Structure formats: structure tokens, C-alpha cells
Amino acid sequence: MANERSFPICCYCGACAAFIPDFEKYKEEEVVFDKGCGGTVSKGFCFSFCPRSFAACRLCEEECPRKDYGVCDFSPCASSPEGRILGHYKEIISARATEEGIREVGQDGSVITAMLCEALRSGFIDAAVVAIRTEDWKAEPFVATTPEEVLRGRGSKFTACPSVLGVWEAIDRGYENIAMVGTGCNIEAVRRLQALRDPALELDRVKVLIGLFCTEAFWHRDLVMFLAERGIEIKEVERFYVTKGKFMVVTKDKEYSIPTKDMESCARDTCRICEDFTSQLADVSAGSSGSPEGYTSLIIRTKAGEELVSVSKRAIETKKLDDAGIKKMERLAFNKKMRNYGMILDQMGICSACLTNPYSFTLQASH
């Protein structure tokens, strides 16, 4: 990495930008080191928490000897056999916001928005890291500290967001009980950082992680070009959503319907090697799959997730998710794992960065 080098499988989670002193910049939504690796990076710190680092990459072994850090793999494929499809969970429910005004401005019942607003009001959290968008639909992390600010993060962006940068900002600003909303790669990055048990990182301030169901995220530049080819100006878009195999684009004057399979050309390279549809390492995971229209499926995984749902009971209405809904989620999650596991094997033959052995493991000690 002595010269400028970008990583084709960077998932743009923001972890290196937040926690590596030697970090230089992002370029086109990928991490770039202009001055090479040095300081903490040379000791393998980055390798220990990057959600796209694996066990035995020869190229990274040369660049990052990991002298002071072991590598913990928290990827979903390392879970127990009974939890490999949806991951470990305590309960699965279907929910929506009780307040009609919040439901109308959000998506799929606006459950995450409602829970965060109530969690802030009750003092359960004092900051929430959400994704907001620029005028041209670039996703950016934002630290919301009031219910009004939470509303800025409503709706899906469909492009990657470096949400872990927002976690660092919240810590730096002194917040003590932080929630983060993110996709599986964002969640995994925080979990890996927490697993280092380094008090200097102050990650004990992260109280709850809310994971989003995710099939794939789009390159911003490719999404802009894709829409422009169809006569859609990105700045005119008011909303994106997916329904019944269609990617819907809503502008002020028109609604466009595009088959989701046609959007494959916009997908980030890293999404083709991701097996995590349901954000398996979150405290609570959320997505529309499995629930009726206007509702969100919630997979409650941990005590922290249970507590979040409990303190939000005035803001959301819940009901049991039936077996058919759970089976639908399992099918989508299984299909992503099977499809992308094949892509991992293909990529291993042309590795140019951190891609390596996809087989599950628990811990590799430093040597």
C-alpha cells in the first residue's frame, strides 16, 4: 500500500475512517491510503475490525503483519447450525408506528423512526446515528439527539453509508448511550471493534445496534447514471422503495417501476460477497420482508434489543409474525447466502485486496 490503492471490496462502513489515525480519505466510496500503511495500521489494527477482512489473506499478511492484534471473525457463517439462516434470535414480531403522522412520512410502518424517537424521549438513549441523504441522494451519517432530528433519517437510501463515522462522532461529542442504525456490514464493523475490548475506543457507550435487512447497496455514481439513462434526474427523486420485485422511483410528477433484476449493474462489488441479509449481529433487526404491507418485521436478538422494544411500547403496535412470514424471511436469507457464497469462491481466484478464505472460524491468535 505504498502507493495510492483502493480496495474493490470496501463496503464503505466508515470504521477505518473513524478509528484509524493513519486514514487518509475515501475516494468514490472506497477507502484509499495515499501514504501507505503506518502506525497502528502496520500492526494489523485495521485487519482486526474491517468487516471485509478474513482469516488468511496472503496479500494482507504482507502489508499488515498483525503483530499486536489477533483476528476475531463475527461473520454470520460462523454461527451455530440452527442459527445460520436468520441468526440467533429471541423473538420475531411484526410492528408499525402507532402515530399515523410518523407512519405517513416513513417506510413500512416507520417502526425504527418511532422506536428511536421514543428511546430519546425516555432517556434510554441520548443519541442515535442514522443515515440522511444529500440533495443528490448520497447517504451520510448523522447524529440525531432529538425526535425531530431522527425524522431526517426516515426512508431507505439504497446507497452505502459510512455509519460507523457517526458512532465515532457521537462518542467524541460525549454521548453515553448511543444507538446506531445500519446494514449488516456497519453492524459487523462495530461488533469487531467492541470485540477488541480496548477501553480507549469507548465503545461501551454504544447501547443498541439496529440492523437493516439488506440484499445489496448501490454505487451512487452507477445509480445516478442508471436513472439518467431512463430520463430520471436524481435530484428530482423524492423516494425509493421496493415492492413485489420492482424498484420504485417516486418523483414529484411520476412514479417509475423498474424490475429489481435490472438494478444488478448498480450493486456494489462488496455486496456480491456478503451473506448477511438480516443483519445477524444486531441487537434487533428490521425489514419489510415477511410482514404485511405497512408493517416491519422485527427480529429481536439480544437483551438490549428486548429493552429497546419494551421502552418503545407506547410508540409502536406489535403482533405475532406468522410462520409463513418467517419462512419467507428464511428463504430470502438462504438465497442470499447461497448466491453470494458462490461469488466468494469466484473472487478468491482474482483477489486483489483482502478477500480470502470464506470458511467459518472463531479466533485466530496473533503470531
Note the pLDDT tens digit of each residue in 135-184.
999 999 999 999 999 999 988 899 999 999 999 999 999 999 999 999 99
Give the domain range for residue 329: 86-214+273-342
Same domain, 177 and 55: no
More confident site: 273 or 294: 294
Last residue of a domain, one of 200, 235, 266: 266
136, part of any domain: yes
Binning pLDDT at 50, 70 and 90, where does residue 349 land? Answer: low
Same domain, 67 and 105: no
Same domain, 175 and 110: yes
169, part of any domain: yes
The single-letter code of the amino acid at 1 is M
70, part of any domain: yes
315, part of any domain: yes
pLDDT digits (tens, 9 = 90+) for 6-60: 446 788 899 988 887 666 566 666 666 555 555 555 466 777 788 877 533 444 4
Cell matching residue 33: 491510503
pLDDT digits (tens, 9 = 90+) for 87-120: 899 999 999 999 988 888 778 889 999 999 999 9
284, part of any domain: yes
Cα-trace Rg, the chain? 20
Q: Please name which of 269, 233, 270, 271 lies closest in space to residue 252, comparing C-alpha atoms.
A: 233
Domain count, the chain: 3
User: What mean pLDDT value characterizes the chain?
Assistant: 82
Same domain, 152 and 19: no
The span from the CA of 56 to the CA of 44, in Å, is 13
Instruction: Tell me what pLDDT residue 44 has.
Output: 65
Same domain, 210 and 140: yes
Same domain, 177 and 38: no
180, part of any domain: yes
The span from the CA of 168 to the CA of 19, in Å, is 8
Same domain, 277 and 196: yes
Instruction: Tell me what pLDDT residue 169 has.
Output: 97
Instruction: Tell me what pLDDT residue 19 has.
Output: 85
Last residue of a domain, one of 241, 266, 291: 266
Question: 226: domain CATH number?
Answer: 3.10.450.750
Same domain, 156 and 183: yes
pLDDT digits (tens, 9 = 90+) for 204-262: 999 999 999 999 999 999 999 999 999 999 999 999 998 888 999 999 999 999 999 99
User: Going by C-beta distance under 8 Å and a sequence separation of 6 or more, which residues neighbour residue 104?
Assistant: none
Same domain, 312 and 186: yes
More confident site: 2 or 80: 80
Same domain, 318 and 230: no
Last residue of a domain, one of 249, 266, 283: 266
Instruction: Tell me what pLDDT residue 70 has.
Output: 46
Same domain, 297 and 316: yes
Distance in Å from the first CA to the final CA of the chain: 22
More confident site: 29 or 291: 291
**CA 239, 244, 247 angle in degrees (round to 5)?**
35
